[in-house]
Amino acid sequence: MQSSNSAEATDPPLLRKHSQFRHFQTRFADYPSIRVFYKPHPQAEKIPNDPEPLPLLVFIHGLGGSLAQFNSVLSSLTNVAPCLGIDLPGCGRSKFAPKDWNSYRTEALVTLLDQVIEEYRIAQEGQTNRGVVLISHSMGCSLSTLLASQTSPYHVKTRDYVRGVIAICPKAEPPTADQSKAFRRLLWIPGPLFNIFRWWDRRGGVDSASVRRFVGREAGVDTRKLQLRFNAQSKTPVWRRMAWGCLPDYDGQGRGTGGLPGPMVWQGLKVPLCLIAGEADVVTKPEEAQIIINAIKQKPLPPHTVDDDPLPDASKLFDTEESPPTRFRSSDKEYGLQPTTTVTTVTTDSASLTNVPSETNTNTIRSTVLPFPASHGLLYDHATYRTVAGLIQDFLTESICFHLSLGWQLQHLTTSGKWDVKNLTKWQGVVPVSDPIGRPQPIFRALKTLRKQDEKHTPNVFVKEWHDKIYAIVDISHDSPTYDPAEIEAGGIQYHKFPTVSKIPPTVQEVQDFISLVERLRGEIDNKYPNSTPDGSSHPTKPVIAVHCHYGYNRTGFFIVSHLVEKQGYRLEDAIAEFGQQRPPGIRHDHFIDTLYVRYTVGLRRPGTGNDDEQPTKVGGIGASSIPGRSQGGKKMDVDREGDESVSE
């Protein structure tokens, strides 16, 4: 039976919708089922291809990790360029096959990645000159470097098309000969004993050493739960094989071959490079970034002095916990917005990039260290992932191609009439913003999506009217927005992309993730707008959270109603009525209403099983069949404090 925390059960909707399971055969191995995520740009045919098509963004996870760790940044980046990623063999949703150890050596993984990238770079778009930008985390940075570097020992096709490399928490040097020898001894420990070590390391759940190591002590509970899930999804046999493959083979003179690359390979990067590190990262310390910069600038390399782990690992089995000194965490809004960033221009003998004329014979290295408590999990930590996504987007626009700016794309498409809402007449007939939802203290407003070229419901006008009334916008639409979120954020309103599929009721996992996001935002609001002022007077009504799909009825209503039931103690009927009264006519899809009743009431008789002559009644403006369980006497479902649903049949 599938576990509720398995990679399959928790696969993010964006990845699930755009994934295939593919068979790949390389010269090293036959991989029967590799999860491949591919999402083309929604308006690719309308973006100029001169001098090149939009590059393919390729995402590569680390040791013990999975593609799901990129979900938060993917939600933003799929709007600006075609995106590709895989779960490496045995990781995430890819099958653990074959099982021989050679199939998991670094060279074998690089060869597999090269084959996947080349197929999707050309076949899916028909553009033979399409470039590639590699975006990777932890050990994935080493794989990216071996794909992109002119001094890589491996012959790969991808190298000729790499336009840039983004390395998040990179590892600059391979394990030394002594470290490799010691680590191989550990890897000889039988699997069952390894699992005992893992169990010991995970004692304490979200407060365990295995979680703190990657996200730190100060991480929010949602981030710690996420790290606990990633750790549990990492398979011991896969981890052992990949870890073994990362270790170089040293000869009698101390020269290593294979395994992770060192400074000489990093030195061969002749494309723009973005390095992102966390000040509190104890797995791959921020000093690694400076070693990489020195290598590319061809400065003398110091002896190995960075005291860190020999392998960059996203789900370590066991070690001695190392924690950074405790500091007070700043607020989420302030935290991460002022990272330490350095930009270095390096003169090289590489040809100029055709799509960046100003970069002739130079490569830009942009190095950013996010301040404490940013750690190894900064890619998916709720306090830092938006900063990471912003840094990536800035680098793509400034150092790769200005066509990768979402603002530029929106301006190009809207002025040419190529990008607009689905049905303009219908959209214009919808009330832009609902009344406040939730009593006694309002929590939400429902919106229709904003439209850049509209005279009124456009970001610049919207923020002037609503910046002090709306704290954040949660965009649950699946497609790219028809407005530039940067304009919303520049006006003082946060923007969060939470993509979901239209016409289909949100899953339990999607609802839980939405509730977690809302509760995190409510915590920020409470900290910034306390219930009373220092003189004891009542504080004015707090700003609320705005939610929109396309029109702001069905999916928006489903999520808001779910939150009112689970977190505000509403009976389901009252929650539906509240949404319907403040956003008339409320949830329009009957099957959404049905799903809410199945999910949140006990003893429900399904629609269609009663009298065929039954006429629907109106509950708060919403059509609902007047059957047992849908009356005002419906029971409220029990919800425990962790947000898990408890339903008795």
Q: Are residues 484 and 605 in the same domain?
A: yes
Task: Indicate the range of 72-86, 201-215, 272-286, 564-578 predicted with least confidence.
Answer: 201-215
Task: Please enumerate in sequence order all residues whose Cβ is within 8 A of that of 625, keeping only pairs 6 or more positions apart, or say none.
Answer: 607, 610, 614, 616, 617
Residue 539's Cα: distance from chain center in Å?
A: 35
In a domain, 585, yes or no: yes
pLDDT of residue 346: 61
CB 161 within 8 A of CB 132: yes
Q: Are residues 379 and 501 in the same domain?
A: no
* pLDDT for 546 beyond 90: yes
Rounded CA gap, 462 and 106, in Å? 51
Rounded CA gap, 9 and 106, in Å? 29
Length of the chain: 649
pLDDT of residue 482: 85
Task: Indicate the range of 253-267, 397-411, 578-592 predicted with least confidence.
Answer: 397-411
Which helix (H) or strand (E) covers residue 495, if one does? Answer: strand 494-497
CB 19 within 8 A of CB 36: yes
* pLDDT for 355 beyond 60: no
Residue with tokens 């400074």: 263
pLDDT of residue 452: 87
pLDDT of residue 326: 34
Task: Indicate the range of 43-52, 159-168, 426-435, 515-524 predicted with least confidence.
Answer: 43-52
CATH code where residue 128 lies: 3.40.50.1820
pLDDT of residue 643: 32
Average pLDDT value for the chain: 81
Model confidence band, residue 615 (pLDDT cutoffs 50, 70, 90):
very low
pLDDT of residue 459: 93
Q: Are residues 83 and 152 in the same domain?
A: yes
Domain span at residue 47? 41-173+258-302+336-407
In a domain, 222, yes or no: no
Q: Are residues 435 and 400 in the same domain?
A: no
Model confidence band, residue 204 (pLDDT cutoffs 50, 70, 90):
confident
Q: Are residues 393 and 434 in the same domain?
A: no
pLDDT of residue 581: 96
* pLDDT for 223 beyond 50: yes
* pLDDT for 143 beyond 60: yes
Q: Are residues 97 and 65 in the same domain?
A: yes
Task: Indicate the range of 22-26, 203-207, 258-262 predicted with least confidence.
Answer: 203-207
In a domain, 231, yes or no: no
pLDDT of residue 602: 52
* pLDDT for 609 beyond 60: no
Task: Indicate the range of 272-276, 307-311, 623-627 predicted with least confidence.
Answer: 623-627
Rounded CA gap, 206 and 226, in Å? 9
Q: Looking at per-residue confidence, does 384 or 1 come out higher?
A: 384
pLDDT of residue 83: 96
pLDDT of residue 613: 35
pLDDT of residue 147: 98
Model confidence band, residue 343 (pLDDT cutoffs 50, 70, 90):
low
Rounded CA gap, 144 and 441, in Å? 49
pLDDT of residue 599: 87
pLDDT of residue 327: 37
Q: Are residues 395 and 498 in the same domain?
A: no
In a domain, 35, yes or no: no
* pLDDT for 282 beyond 60: yes
309 to each of 312, 321, 423, how far by Cα in Å? 7, 11, 55
Residue with tokens 């949100």: 506
In a domain, 238, yes or no: no
CATH code where residue 627 lies: 3.90.190.10
Q: Are residues 433 and 499 in the same domain?
A: yes
Q: Are residues 374 and 498 in the same domain?
A: no
Q: Are residues 132 and 53 in the same domain?
A: yes
**469-524 pLDDT, tens digit each:** 999 999 998 877 888 888 999 999 999 998 888 888 898 889 999 999 999 999 99
* pLDDT for 337 beyond 90: no
**436-481 pLDDT, tens digit each:** 999 888 999 999 999 988 889 999 999 999 999 999 999 998 877 8
Q: Which two tokens stand for residue 347?
A: 């003169």
pLDDT of residue 410: 75
Rounded CA gap, 478 and 74, in Å? 12
Mean pLDDT for the stretch of residues 600-613: 43
In a domain, 65, yes or no: yes
Task: Indicate the number of domains in the chain.
Answer: 2
Percent of the chain at pLDDT exceeding 70: 79
The three state secondary structure string of 566-634 is HHHCCCHHHHHHHHHHHCCCCCCCHHHHHHHHHHHCCCCCCCCCCCCCCCEEEECCEEEECCCCCCCCC
Q: Which two tokens stand for residue 80?
A: 């600006």
Model confidence band, residue 354 (pLDDT cutoffs 50, 70, 90):
very low
Q: Are residues 403 and 451 in the same domain?
A: no
Mean pLDDT for the stretch of residues 135-164: 96
Per-range mean pLDDT, top range of 237-246, 315-324, 335-344: 237-246
In a domain, 439, yes or no: yes
In a domain, 268, yes or no: yes
| Cα-trace Rg, the chain | 26
Percent of the chain at pLDDT exceeding 90: 52
Model confidence band, residue 585 (pLDDT cutoffs 50, 70, 90):
very high
Q: Are residues 402 and 477 in the same domain?
A: no
Q: Which two tokens stand for residue 417?
A: 């009439």
Mean pLDDT for the stretch of residues 626-649: 30
**360-419 pLDDT, tens digit each:** 345 789 999 999 889 999 999 988 888 898 899 889 999 999 889 877 887 777 665 555
